[in-house]
Amino acid sequence: MSIELMKKEDIETVAELEKQLFSDPWPKHFFLQELENEFAEYYVLKKDGEIAGYAGMWQMFENCDLTNIAIREDYQGRGYGKELLRFMISRAIEKGCEFMHLEVRVSNIKAQNLYEKLGFIKTRIRKGYYENGEDGIDMVKGLLGLSEEDSCDRKQL
Ligand SMILES: CC(C)(COP(=O)(O)OP(=O)(O)OC[C@H]1O[C@@H](n2cnc3c(N)ncnc32)[C@H](O)[C@@H]1OP(=O)(O)O)[C@@H](O)C(=O)NCCC(=O)NCCS
């Protein structure tokens, strides 16, 4: 397993996965724009040379926003989501961020469990945040005082 910076040639596969995994998928050109965005960082997780997942974030001063994280369906439930999120958190710490924020659908219990496992807490409900009217939950993790080597598990906070 390796985690590498996303490249233009990865976008075709990433956009395919995005369609399979999200009801409101980002189109290819969003990812292309993101690769040009100096405030954004996108990574792919590769297993046996194939893209098995991806994640991205934006940095605005001391805040990082996790924009997306996804693992190919047949690789889910094997710890790759946790690995990738740990990696994104360590990148945010490396870049000097003090907080990592994200939004998640109220119905997405799997993702909420993953985020809570790595120390994110729920801060507010965003009524009707998603295109289908579903509420979103804002979550945040404080990064001050954590080192990149900290494994970021809740029990260590
Ligand atoms: C959310 C997602 C990234 C998790 O990735 P994953 O590789 O399946 O997760 P992991 O195997 O690393 O599991 C991490 C934690 O997630 C939670 N989790 C995983 N599968 C779960 C399930 N079926 N039910 C409930 N919680 C689950 C658990 O807390 C798990 O920790 P544990 O194994 O120590 O109990 C993945 O399911 C996914 O890509 N979903 C579709 C896209 C998506 O919803 N992205 C998030 C948008 S906000």
Contact 88, 43 (CB under 8 A): yes
Q: Which helix (H) or strand (E) is 81 found in, with range?
A: helix 80-94
Ligand 1 atom, smallest distance to 117 CA = 29
Pocket test for ligand 1, best of 44, 113, 115, 141 (most atoms within 8 A of CB): 113
Q: Which of these, 76, 73, 124, lies nearest to 102 by C-alpha position?
A: 124
Kindly state the tokens that stand for 15. 């956009």
Pocket test for ligand 1, best of 114, 126, 153 (most atoms within 8 A of CB): 114
Contact 18, 70 (CB under 8 A): yes
Give pLDDT, residue 150: 67
Contact 88, 66 (CB under 8 A): yes
Give pLDDT, residue 152: 55
Query: Mind telling me the catalytic residues?
Result: 103, 115
Give pLDDT, residue 19: 97
Give pLDDT, residue 157: 34
Protein residue whose Cα sits closest to atom 42 of ligand 1: 70
For 89, list phi and psi in degrees, rounded to 5: -65, -40
Ligand 1 atom, smallest distance to 79 CA = 12
Protein residue whose Cα sits closest to atom 30 of ligand 1: 114
Q: Which fold has domain 2-156?
A: Aminopeptidase (3.40.630)
Compute the distance between CA of residue 121 and CA of residue 117 in angstroms, rounded to an integer.
10
Ligand 1 atom, smallest distance to 53 CA = 39
**C-alpha to C-alpha distances, 118 to 26, 36, 134, 150, 153, nearest whole angstrom:** 25, 29, 24, 11, 5
Compute the distance between CA of residue 117 and CA of residue 151 in angstroms, rounded to an integer.
11
Q: Which pTM value belongs to this model?
A: 0.94
Q: Kindly state if the Cβ of 28 falls inside 6 Å of ligand 1.
A: no
Residues of the chain with pLDDT under 70: 150-157
Report angle CA 127, 129, 133 to the nearest 5 degrees. 85
Domain boundaries, the chain: 2-156
Give pLDDT, residue 155: 43
Distance 18 CA to ligand 1 centre (A): 16
Residue with tokens 């009707």: 128
Protein residue whose Cα sits closest to atom 20 of ligand 1: 77
